[in-house]
Chains A and B, each alone.
Chain A
Amino acid sequence: MPFKTLIPTLIGQTISKLLLFRNKSRGETLPGLIVLKINKNFIKDTNQSVPHRIIISGTNGKTTTTAMVTKVLRDKGISFITNPSGSNLTRGIAAASLNISNKITHLLWEVDEAALTEVCQQVQPTHLVFTNLFRDQLDRYGETDTILHNWIILLKKLPKLQLILNADDPSLVYLGQQANQHNVIYFSVRGNPNNKLDDSSDSIFCPHCRKPLVYKTITFSHLGQFSCSCGFQSPKLNFIINSFNYRDKYLQININNLSNMTLPLIGTYNVYNSLAAYVLLNTLNFNNLDILTYLKDFQPAFGRQEIMRIKNKNILTILVKNPTGFNQAIETLIQLNKKLTLMIAINDKTADGKDVSWLWDVDFEKLTPIIDKLIISGDRADDMAVRIKYADFPNPKIQVINDKIKALETFLHCDDKNLYLLPTYTALWEIRKLIKNYE
């Protein structure tokens, strides 16, 4: 190990161990912050000798996609390092980079959109996956056009790499066109010709000429098969899912009419996540059968259809962060085809976004008919309650319990054995901690 990385590594690892000793869950980013103070190019100095450097970014799905790739790398016995979900800023990557040794062949980084430019310039990825681009916490990330613009500038600066893009997102297709010095691979999920654009769809105008795009099919939000009179259109596809279905809590998808993939997940957004993971692994020359076999018993990541078991109850949790994600969570719950006992917990801390306006872009009108019991909690429970009231949920049935301990207590005392929890990011952390205390 070169001297310039040796000293920060030793210091960082020592801090990691001390932190781990004190508090297991929170030792993830502080060491990263410290090593970057000592050597601001720490990521660059440690990462660039590793042959395969993979970055996964985008608004939604990056955690699940990363978790799927992780599962295959681990089962295949690859020497790799990945960052824990939630530590996806520069300091998180730096902290995870402390573990790099000569044996490591693959780096797999999930990177927050806001940190992408900085991280990419340091890592110089060999593979870069973009899942999608939706409006998300505008007070933190800014508008989607600004983000896209920054990505284009970034890609122009990076050395030639393998770019893996969602062909159904007009913004990403535009990105692929602008960054054509890279190897671009497109993946797509065939949508439904009868689907309509949501009110909160973002990229529905042509990125070239600004005319409204014409959609032939739509999967959800602004994802679909599109064209514009100026010539901009869905690109030539490398990987396509023509059909998928759900059977007994399993998602069955068919890729390129060849490979059949089965995963213990639900929701159309997970079809995209599975495909993104598959395409990346395929591009990395993993054996087709290995990918399909290892993903069959994939376990969902933190809060992504993760099932928490407590007091004979199963709490299925779907993290909600932005309108598209929340709408997809609602669509997924509708597919369960039953009346649900549900808790929604909305916080407005920095990681959640301080602006709760986005709740008004979510189609709660579709959720209210499938609710049997509803508990609303979190720091912004009152705003959520108003939103649900205006989605025609009967006022007297709205149960607002601002205090999370009491809310959880009431939730767990509901008759239903299977409970459903939709929390924002920090609300999930708080509720998980409370659940741990029960055990």
Chain B
Amino acid sequence: MNKKQLILHLAYLYPKSMNIYGDRGNLITLIKRYQWRNINLIIDEIEVGDNFNPTKYDFVFAGGGQDIHQLRIAEDLQNKKTAIIESVNRGTVFLLICGTYQLFGHYFITSTNNKIAGIGVLDITTIASKIKTGKTKRMIGNITTEIVIPNFKSEITTLVGFENHSGMTFINKDSSTTYPLGRVIKGFGNNGHDKTEGACYKNVFGTYLHGSLLPKNPHFTDFLIKKALENKYKSSIKLVDLNDILEYKAHQFILNHR
């Protein structure tokens, strides 16, 4: 595969504030799995106030953070909205966890009944469990889902992680663009009711799964890695196989035990 040096550019959004749930593991995993395949991954950290270049990036990653930071991020995302939408339309791969996943929807109604505007890339809305049901319910625990992305081809189709959120996310029922990432086998998922977990549109993948997600789901990681490469080089790419015995043992633990 590597006749010429492949290079990808990744934007890590808000590393200083959306970083508390160990989501950094996703970035570490991407770095290593590109590196082990001799693919050059160049990372830009993008903070509040920084410019987001819509044509530069092949991969965008953002994690979960504290409620209080989510407000700052929400404001900043509005400034980046046009650029992000342009990037999404170019087929850039986005992986968004928890807090940033919510803000890529239309809006998020917080537990204090404050409506925070999202950027509406995903056809989803999020409402704090306290407002929706009258009682704060944090959805916490290990979670297993079945990946339901239509063109996802892999022997292993489960996704495992740990969820910890009180926002309930709903995919618009009539959405023609946004579909769930997974069907819940064990755990809560988007809202604890409709068995959906996460949401996808084009190459944007939002999910509640921490754990970190990518280290123990190498099939999903490689799916994203391949997608980003194929989108950039506009040709079919076969990834070099890696030894994932340890990764799948960690994956299997969640399947077995919870």
Contacts and interface: CB of A to CB of B under 8 A. Distances in A.
Contact of B15 (A199, A205, A385): A199
A229 B253 CA distance: 48
Contacts of B16: 204-205, 212
Interface stretch (B62-70, B117-125, B190-198, B230-238): B62-70
Nearest to A361: B22
B212 interface: yes
Interface string B216-251: 100000000000000000000000000100110110
B110 interface: no
A228 interface: no
Nearest to B24: A360
Given A205-B69, A386-B246, A390-B29, A359 B253 contact: no
A380 B253 contact: yes
A357 B23 contact: yes
Contacts of B247: 386
A400 B245 CA distance: 12
B101 to A, nearest CB: 15
Contacts of A212: 16
A196 B38 CA distance: 30
A116 to B, nearest CB: 19
Interface stretch (A137-145, A179-187, A308-316): A137-145
B215 A387 contact: yes
A352 interface: no
Interface string A198-225: 0110101100001010000000000000
B12 to A, nearest CB: 11
A391 B32 CA distance: 9
Interface residues of B, number: 35
A360 B28 contact: yes
Contact of B21 (A144, A354, A357): A357
Contact of A390 (B22, B141, B215, B249): B215
A389 B28 contact: no
A296 to B, nearest CB: 39
Contacts of A199: 15, 19, 24
B197 to A, nearest CB: 17
A143 B140 CA distance: 13
Interface in B161-214: 162, 164, 210-212
Nearest to B216: A386
Interface in A348-370: 354-361
B24 A387 contact: no
A383 interface: yes
Contacts of B22: 355-361
A382 interface: yes
Secondary structure type dominating chain B contacts: mixed
Which of A139, A389, A391, A400 gathers most chain B CB within 10 Å?
Answer: A139
Contact of A357 (B15, B25, B29, B68): B25
Which of B22, B68, B215 gathers most chain A CB within 10 Å?
Answer: B22
Interface residues of A, number: 34
A292 interface: no
A8 B25 CA distance: 50
A355 B20 CA distance: 12
Contacts of A205: 16-17, 69
Contact of B250 (A135, A146, A204, A382): A382
Given A199-B15, A205-B69, A383-B216, A138 B20 contact: yes
A11 B25 CA distance: 51
A144 B69 CA distance: 12
B66 to A, nearest CB: 4
Contacts of A356: 22, 162, 211
Interface string A30-56: 000000000000000000000000000
B92 to A, nearest CB: 24
Contacts of A358: 22
B153 interface: no
Nearest to B33: A390
Contacts of A145: 66-68
B246 A400 contact: yes
A383 B210 CA distance: 13
B142 interface: yes
A212 to B, nearest CB: 7
24 contacts: A139-B141, A139-B164, A143-B20, A143-B67, A200-B19, A205-B16, A205-B69, A355-B21, A355-B22, A355-B140, A357-B22, A357-B25, A357-B211, A358-B22, A359-B22, A360-B22, A360-B25, A361-B24, A382-B249, A383-B215, A385-B249, A386-B247, A390-B32, A391-B28
Interface of A: 135, 138-139, 143-146, 199-200, 202, 204-205, 210, 212, 354-361, 380, 382-383, 385-387, 389-391, 395, 398, 400
Interface of B: 15-17, 19-25, 28-29, 32, 66-69, 72, 140-142, 162, 164, 210-212, 215-216, 243, 246-247, 249-250, 252-253
What 5 A-B pairs are tightest by C-beta distance, nearest first? A360-B25, A357-B22, A382-B250, A360-B22, A382-B249
